[in-house]
């Protein structure tokens, strides 16, 4: 029987009420549970091997340097599909011409085939472009146009005739700074005499001493930008009209960025009477929000509801397996029944990744791996080949959970659900049940459903403990996760068509 689509990730149920259970959830192995196949012997040692963690921001930044990721400009044809759904982050009822944008900027948007703003752009831009300028803290999912939102604001705030920095945009990595610069160049292509300066490693820093920058927009990493302001004094902070922090959860929360970003903010805020500060990020946890609202004065806060954080264009399911050994049988059934373009499978450990790789390769699948024991160069090469389509299935640990985009991924499979750890680096257990890491889960399944496309997330459940994790995730995101039978070809085809 086809799962009720109102329970799926792609079609949130507004009347959802979290399940009220008097006791722990029951893991009942019935007719629909996938049974182990004696042909597939699971390597038992993988259950006790160390679980690989999500990389720290610095590791993600280093990997992105090697990947040299190209910015993908979102075309209106993609937006058209999702605009019919008011719950989609790409839903919009306005056109860019209804916003206070400069004619040269509108001309560039027309040439890029950008006609309709996404939800974050439609919400943020009127606030950012009104007079007097307002500070903004905004959360937006990756792939929904947050970079364009602050780039358009910077372009509309600058006076092109003034030959001095008027906007500073901070990014946590060199590569992200370059990507933002590419968007500025494309959206500012018709603004004559627009200049960009990159405050990033690799430049002649000695030449900066005593020099006054003439470029209107400075895009850089926090450390170098602070040196420009404090050490070399080549930026006059009193002339700054816009200060942007992108990936603000990394910038102001993680060690190394907090003090530097705060110093930059305070210097600009104290010197400029008219500076407009903006913080954009895909995720904000409560400590970050508390910190951001303390340092950003009189900020308007635009936050996603939890059900919107859960990327509603991703249909979410779970498959009940009789035991851990039967998970591979579920994988075989899924790849036999689903027409998958590209997919990512997440496992806890390197050993599980390698075991699954060998078995899928033996069945003729085009598959490769990504794990923590690989060098940065090896990881980057694997991701580049995956993007290029050299293989269709990437089996990985948490090293791929955040920070890397591959637009063509249509299915994400959690072979193992992500686990939350306490301050002692041990799995967090409440009432006898291991707790899922909801943020990592969100980032994992966010590898699919990019730029408004429909994606599928499938979770393999093999115990009462992992069944409880599904319940926790449902309650956290206020959305149902539908049960799927991977052996039912009709059901799988219906899911793909929905």
How confident is residue 237, by pLDDT bands cut at 50, 70 and 90? Answer: very high
Residues 323/478, Cβ–Cβ less than 8 Å:
no
Give the span between the Cα atoms of 309 and 287, in whole angstroms.
17
Number of residues written out for the chain: 498
Got the DSSP string for 475-494?
HHHT---EE--TT-HHHHHH
Asked if pLDDT for residue 22 goes beyond 50, the answer is no
* DSSP annotation string for 336-347: HHS--SEEEEE-
Strands 455-461 and 409-414: parallel
108 pLDDT more than 70 = yes
CATH fold, domain 76-88+90-303, is Rossmann fold (3.40.50)
> With bands split at pLDDT 50, 70 and 90, how would you rate the model's confidence at 23?
very low
| Exposure string for 167-206, b = 16+ CB within 10 A, e = fewer | bbbbbbbbbbbbbbbebbebbbebbeebebbbbbeeeeee
**Pick from 272, 161, 158, 266: which is nearest to 219 by CA?**
158
For residue 54, what are its two tokens?
A: 């999500």
Find the mean pLDDT for residues 294-311.
72
How far is Cα 417 from Cα 459, in angstroms, rounded to an integer? Answer: 7
Q: Where are the domains of the chain?
A: 5-48+309-497, 76-88+90-303
Does the structure show a pLDDT above 80 at 93? no
Summarised one tens digit per residue, pLDDT across range 433-460 is 999 998 889 888 887 876 567 788 999 9
Rounded to whole angstroms, the Cα distance separating 141 from 456 reads 17
Cα separation, 359 vs 200, whole angstroms: 44
Question: What pTM, to 2 d.p., does this model score?
Answer: 0.60
pLDDT tier, 498 (very low <50, low <70, confident <90, very high otherwise): low
Q: How far is CA 272 from the centre of its chain?
A: 33
Half-sphere exposure of 144 (CA within 13 A, CB side): 32
Confidence of residue 53 (pLDDT cuts 50, 70, 90): confident
Is the bond preceding residue 348 a cis peptide, omega within 30 degrees?
A: no
Separation CA 230–CA 59 (nearest Å): 27
Q: What is the pLDDT of residue 48?
A: 58
Q: Which of 103-117, 153-167, 241-255 has the lowest mean pLDDT?
A: 241-255
Rounded to the nearest integer, the mean pLDDT of the chain is 78
Q: Which of 385, 437, 368 is nearest to 52 (CA)?
A: 437
- CATH architecture assignment, domain 5-48+309-497: 3-Layer(aba) Sandwich (3.40)
Contact yes or no for 342/111 (Cβ under 8 A)? no
pLDDT of residue 391: 92
Let me know if the fold of 5-48+309-497 is the same as that of 76-88+90-303: yes
Q: Of 240, 259, 258, which is closest to residue 250 (Cα–Cα)?
A: 258
Find residue 413's DSSP bridge partners.
Answer: 345, 458
Burial class for 219, CB neighbours closer than 10 Å (0-12, 13-18, 19+): buried
The answer, yes or no, to whether residue 414 has pLDDT greater than 90, is yes
Q: 85 in helix, strand or coil?
A: coil
| Residue 339 pLDDT class (50, 70, 90 cuts) | confident
Q: Facing residues of 434 across strands?
A: 429
Q: Which residues pair with 458 in a beta bridge?
A: 317, 413
């Amino acid at each position: 029987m086809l799962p009720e689509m109102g329970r799926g990730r792609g079609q949130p149920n507004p009347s959802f009420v979290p399940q009220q259970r008097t006791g722990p959830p029951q893991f009942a192995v019935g007719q629909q549970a996938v049974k182990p196949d004696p042909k597939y012997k699971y390597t038992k040692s993988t259950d006790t091997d160390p679980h690989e963690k999500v990389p720290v921001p610095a590791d993600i930044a280093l990997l992105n340097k090697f990947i040299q990721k190209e910015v993908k400009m979102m075309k209106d044809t993609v937006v058209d599909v999702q605009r019919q759904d008011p719950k989609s982050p790409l839903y919009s009822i306005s056109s860019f011409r209804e916003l206070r944008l400069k004619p040269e900027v509108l001309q560039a948007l027309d040439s890029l085939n950008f006609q309709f703003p996404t939800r974050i752009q439609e919400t943020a831009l009127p606030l950012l472009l009104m007079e007097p300028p307002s500070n903004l803290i905004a959360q937006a999912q990756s792939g929904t146009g947050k970079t364009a939102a602050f780039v358009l604001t910077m372009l509309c705030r600058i006076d092109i005739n003034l030959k001095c920095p008027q906007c500073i945009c901070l990014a946590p990595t060199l590569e992200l700074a370059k990507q933002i610069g590419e968007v500025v160049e494309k959206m500012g292509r018709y603004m004559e005499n627009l200049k960009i300066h990159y405050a990033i490693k690799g430049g002649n820093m000695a030449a900066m001493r005593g020099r006054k920058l003439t470029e209107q927009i400075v895009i850089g990493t926090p450390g170098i930008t602070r040196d420009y302001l404090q050490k070399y004094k080549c930026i006059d902070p009193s002339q700054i009209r816009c200060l942007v922090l992108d990936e603000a959860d990394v910038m102001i929360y993680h060690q190394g960025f907090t003090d530097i970003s705060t110093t930059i903010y305070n210097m600009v805020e104290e010197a400029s009477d008219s500076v407009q500060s903006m913080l954009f990020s895909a995720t904000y946890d409560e400590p970050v929000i508390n910190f951001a609202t303390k340092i950003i004065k009189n900020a308007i806060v635009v936050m996603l509801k939890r059900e919107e954080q859960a990327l509603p264009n991703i249909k979410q399911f779970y498959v009940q397996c009789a035991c851990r050994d039967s998970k591979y049988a579920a994988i075989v059934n899924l790849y036999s029944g689903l027409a998958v373009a590209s997919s990512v499978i997440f496992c806890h450990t390197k050993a599980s990744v390698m075991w699954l790789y060998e078995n899928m390769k033996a069945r003729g699948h085009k598959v490769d791996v990504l794990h923590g024991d690989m060098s940065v160069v090896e990881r980057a090469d694997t991701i580049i080949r995956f993007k290029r389509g050299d293989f269709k299935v990437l089996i990985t640990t948490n090293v791929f959970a955040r920070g890397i985009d591959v637009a063509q991924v249509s299915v994400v499979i959690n072979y193992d659900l992500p686990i939350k750890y306490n301050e002692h680096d041990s799995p967090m257990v409440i009432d006898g049940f291991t707790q899922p890491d909801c943020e990592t889960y969100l980032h994992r399944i966010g590898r699919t459903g990019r730029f408004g496309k429909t994606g599928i997330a499938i979770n393999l459940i093999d115990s009462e403990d992992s069944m409880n994790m599904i319940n926790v995730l449902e309650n956290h995101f206020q959305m149902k996760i539908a049960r799927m039978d991977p052996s039912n070809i009709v059901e799988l085809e219906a899911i793909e068509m929905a």
